[in-house]
Structure 1
Amino acid sequence: MQQQFSGERPPQPRAHVRDVRQLPKAHLHLHFTGSMRPGTLLELADKYGVHLPPALSGAEPPRLRATDERGWFRFQRLYDMARSCLREPEDIQRLVREAAEEDVRDGSRWLEIQVDPTSYAPRLGGLIPALEVILDAVAAATRDTGLPIRVLVAANRMKHPLDARTLARLAVRFKDRGIVGFGLSNDERRGFARDFDRAFAIARDGGLLAAPHGGELSGPSSVRDCLDDLHAGRVGHGVRAAEDPRLLARLADAQVTCEVCPASNVALGVYEKPADVPLRTLWDAGVPMALGADDPLLFGSRLAAQYELVREHHGFTDVELAELARQSVRGGRIDEAERKAILADIDAWLAAEPAGS
């Protein structure tokens, strides 16, 4: 089956600028099912006889707006339908390998992918077997592509906090197999971060990074809750901290990295257009950022396209783009030798003459 759309709009090299696909960078905000190639989804749906709606089978990414509950429900429904096409270990292996290939093509030197294994457990023999399949796929993709891949286990804030505690214990148990963090995803307007404080304490005590979502669909208060109640070391999204100067100063002082996903923010209606995403506000305040693609399957753009968006719509120079890449590397759970090597290669990218000069 032919791939109907690529799932991304790859940035094209232009005269007198460096190619952002060649810029070494870390990718810290990528969801598991959402990393799938659109063509792969079509093939798996055909394999299992799943009827996809036009929003998932058409030639363009779906039109989404999730700033109200109806819109978020539609987004989640599309995501769940795509996830239903992942049924066998070989499907999981394919997804991770292809996600790694896409990241390598976009200049990624480190990938941390986020997954809630409970979503795959019914078809993969249970919670622990599902996590083992995922971790095996991650290890195989690392070997096959050379891209170091780590995992963040994410709890779903729409489920009971006791489920999150189970996941936290499981994540700690398997941390020697590449799990580096614990997250909290889904609609941050529902429930309270503090309901999950015990789960995050288990994860932190076990040596995992706390990286919950906040500051996307809800405002600055949700970021503050991530810091106060969950002791976040990184914040998924966090972009709406820009609405509170005191919160910005706090993030900057603590050097808490925000995993900013500008194309996702626009696709979900958090901001009307790319120029509205307050990247400059966070940058000027000194808040470290790690640009991420979030869910390329649904938003239509991968990692390098985020850097191109920042260049085109926010006027970031190559010097500034290189610093954004450094911030992504510093924000990852990367060992010191690997971190130094990537940072040196970022310096080399910046020292090279731009195309057409």
Structure 2
Amino acid sequence: MIGGLDTPPPSGSDYSTDEHVRDLKALPKAHLHLHFTGSMRHSTLLELAARDGIRLPDQLVSGWPPELSAADEKGWFRFQRLYDVARSVLRTEGDVRRLIREAAEDDVADGGRWLEIQVDPSGYAARFGGITAFTDLVLDAVADASRGTGLGMAVIIAANRTRHPMDARVLARLAAQYAGHGVVGFGLSNDERRGRTEDFDHAFRIAERAGLRLVPHGGELRGPEHITRVIDSLHANRLGHGVRAAEDQALLDRIASSGIPLEVCPTSNVSLGVYSSLTEVPLPTLLAAGATIALGADDPLLFGSRLLGQYAAMRAAHDLSDVQLAELARMSIRASAAPDATKQRLGAEVDAWLAAPDGE
């Protein structure tokens, strides 16, 4: 299991060379791939479970972060079971507000300046008065957290591809209601090997007409052929994961020329068995083709690494220079739904990070 990725490298390591000296915590970043439940702090999970007498599996207690694999459906089922257990500890409005506030605080500590958090309201509807009431709660909590931390924040509503496509249409209409009022995108998550992608095209047309960003998952558990299907059927203008586009040069060239950003989540890729090590995550191939990349943490609660960890992991695995890391941060900002003025300001902050004397 991957460990320690969120800890900055010690002085005297390879990062003390001229090209690897700047503090990654100080590098301004946008975070575009973070799931609601998966953003929960491990300490918060333990505290809330103890409060209500919820017995957690050992994988979420003494065995945390858990050993995971999604190589087959049984592996994904075990992963999803842990996710569902974690969801069950969120029982009050205060719990939801705490999760969002802490996610914002953690991103700020990692150098985050903009966060788009992804949520499926149907997973909480029964406990919080329906999907509309829960969405209202999330948006209000996001506004409060943004004011309190200074972090720019927005919400992506995501459907679950293991459920009926009609459910996705309901969520797309919900997302459309809030377009321009805190919701910036519509996604499709869960095991991409399940369901027919084309069956969700109606939901994505609803979101598209509302002017929302279309950000379905694709290209992690399935390869290039499925990425093509997601782009063609769902009109994806940003892709959750998409890392396996590296296996097809023609597809990769298409993605690069079309400007479709890829939300690459390295520790997720390794934890779920897509790649056996961080050095195998094909970030250099994607960058060499001119693809726009936004590094994301996916589900820190289950993978044990937050936003900073993704940058530190790729710096170590691929010997990235500070110039390359700054460009990754710029790409994350450009790929976000942040207002243009915010993008310009954050871009200038990245330039300042890179222009600062080494080590400052």
The CA deviation at 1:59 is 5.7
- 1:127 aligned partner: 131
CA distance in 1, matches of 2:230, 2:294: 17
**Offset of residue 222 of structure 1:** 1.6
Q: How many residues align?
A: 351
Q: What corresponds to 2:61 in structure 1?
A: 57
Equivalent positions of 1:325-344 (< 5 A) are: 325-344=329-348
The answer for the alignment partner of 2:6 in structure 1 is 9
Q: What secondary structure, in the 3-state scheme, does the structure 1 residue paired with 2:60 have? A: helix
1:12 Cα deviation after fit: 3.6
The answer for the alignment partner of 1:177 in structure 2 is 181
Amino acid at match of 1:65: S
Measure the CA separation in 2 of the matches of 1:119 and 1:100.
21
Q: 1:98 to 1:80 in 2, by over 3 A?
A: same
Q: What is the deviation of 1:211?
A: 0.2
Task: Please state how far the C-alpha of 1:233 moved relative to its aligned partner.
Answer: 0.6
- Give the corresponding residue for 1:45: 49
Q: CA deviation at 1:7?
A: 9.1
Quote the Cα distance in structure 1 between the aligned partners of 2:5 and 2:145. Answer: 21
- C-alpha distance in structure 1 between counterparts of 2:10 and 2:256, whole Å: 33
Q: Is 1:139 paired with 2:143?
A: yes
Choose from 194, 201, 207 the match for 2:205: 201
- Aligned CA RMSD, in angstroms, stands at 1.3
Distance 1:59 1:230 in 2: 38
Give the match for residue 3 of structure 1. Answer: none
> TM-score under structure 2 normalisation?
0.95
Matched with 1:288 is: 292
Question: What is the aligned partner in structure 2 of residue 186 from structure 1?
Answer: 190
Give runs of aligned pairs for residues 99-110 of structure 1, distance below 5 A: 99-110=103-114
Unaligned runs of 5+ residues in structure 2 are none
Kept in 1, the 8 Å contact 2:6–2:312? The answer is: no
Letter in 2 for 1:10: T
- Alpha-carbon distance between aligned partners in 1 of 2:10 and 2:158, rounded to the nearest angstrom: 36
Structure 1, unaligned stretches of length 5 or more?
Answer: 1-5
In the TM superposition, residue 46 of structure 1 has moved relative to its aligned partner by 0.9
Deviations 1:62-115 (Å, cap 9, x if unpaired)? 000112111000000000000011111100000000000000000011000000
Q: Is the Cα–Cα contact under 8 Å of residues 65 and 302 in structure 2 kept in the other structure?
A: yes
Letter in 2 for 1:54: D
Distance 1:13 1:212 in 2: 38
Q: CA deviation at 1:13?
A: 6.0
- For residue 43 of structure 1, give the secondary structure of its aligned residue in structure 2: helix
Question: How many Å apart are 1:191 and its aligned residue?
Answer: 1.5
Partner Cα distance (1:263, 1:123) in 2: 31
Aligned partners of 2:5 and 2:113: how far apart in 1?
A: 19
- Deviation of 1:58 after TM superposition, in Å, equals 1.8
Which residue of structure 2 aligns with residue 240 of structure 1? 244
How far 1:225 moved relative to its partner? 1.2
SS at match of 2:86: helix
- Tell me the equivalent position of 2:75: 71
Confirm or deny: 8 A CA contact 1:330 1:339 kept in the other structure.
yes
In 1: Cα distance, 2:97 partner to 2:192 partner: 30
2:318 to 310, 314, 320: 314
Asked if the contact 1:12/1:19 (under 8 Å) is kept, the reply is no
The 3 A distance-change label for structure 1 pair 108 and 80 is: same
User: What is aligned with 1:353?
Assistant: 357
Q: Does 1:87 align with 2:91?
A: yes
